[in-house]
Amino acid sequence: QVQLVESGGGLVQPGDSLRLSCASSGETFSRFAMGWFRQAPGKEREYVAAINWGGSMAYYEDSVKGRFTISRDNAKNTVYLEMSSLKPEDTAVYSCAAKATYTLPGPYEYAYWGQGTQVTVSS
């Protein structure tokens, strides 16, 4: 079993930056690829970013490319999502997820999920 806890969400203004963290406990963190998802009210969940076990491969959804950066610290059992140039349309609940694989999972392959953290971008 893997437990995931997100933190770092909040209310920011357009153009601001924010860093989300997802702390993992349970099984060996480096066995898992990690992903970030977001869901805005009334919208489907979006697969925002993912990173493989060692950090050598990453995926980004088109709308966040160049603005968001996913990274991980296996020594701290934590994955991060650095978000910059935030826009109102980035407002959503952001959740992290994990899958035991050495590749980048597809959006429906994740086995473990956190509860999410709210990000609100508004002036």
pLDDT digits (tens, 9 = 90+) for 45-71: 999 999 999 999 999 999 999 999 999
| Residue-level pLDDT at 1 | 86
The closest alpha carbon to 57, from 96, 102, 2, belongs to: 102
- The answer to whether 34 touches 72, Cβ cutoff 8 Å, is yes
- The rounded radius of gyration (Å) of the Cα atoms in the chain is 13
Share in percent of the chain as helix, strand, coil (round to 5): 5, 50, 40
pLDDT in tens, 8-17: 999 999 999 9
| Residue-level pLDDT at 27 | 86
